[in-house]
């Protein structure tokens, strides 16, 4: 049972990393400064960042050790979420981008 759960967790992380890479590409095409970096070829961790405007930055980190969403403005941390809450906030960002054609996004 535990080996199956570990394998499912690895697959979940890989899927999340691939989706972050896709989101970064879409954001870049829409004119946002966005990036998604991974370490190694196993897709088991990623660092996703996007600038939503003047001094407004979102950082999303994913690895086997955890998932975090950090929102910053003027180099100050506004919000930090982990786990399912972080993923929900990422979904909110994706939905806003989907329905808002210009880089004038407000989150939170």
Dist. CA 84–CA 68, nearest whole Å = 9
Domain residue ranges in the chain: 2-99
Provide the pLDDT confidence category of residue 43 given band limits of 50, 70 and 90. Answer: confident
Residue 76: partners with Cβ closer than 8 Å, 6 or more residues away:
none
Q: How many CA atoms lie within 13 A of 67 on its CB side?
A: 16
- In this structure, are residues 52 and 92 in contact, taking their beta carbons and an 8 Å threshold? no
pLDDT digits (tens, 9 = 90+) for 62-80: 988 899 999 999 999 999 9
Stretch 92-104: mean pLDDT: 77
pLDDT digits (tens, 9 = 90+) for 1-20: 999 999 999 999 999 999 99
């Amino acid at each position: 049972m535990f080996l199956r759960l570990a394998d499912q967790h690895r697959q979940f992380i890989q899927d999340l990393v691939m989706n972050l890479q896709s989101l970064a590409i879409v954001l870049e095409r829409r004119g946002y400064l966005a990036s998604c970096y991974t370490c190694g070829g196993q897709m088991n961790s990623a660092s996703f960042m996007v600038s939503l405007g003047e001094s407004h930055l979102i950082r999303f980190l994913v690895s086997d050790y955890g998932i975090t969403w950090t929102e910053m403005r003027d180099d100050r941390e506004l919000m930090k979420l982990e786990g399912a809450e972080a993923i929900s906030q990422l979904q909110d960002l994706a939905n806003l981008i989907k329905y808002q054609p210009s880089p004038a996004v407000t989150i939170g």
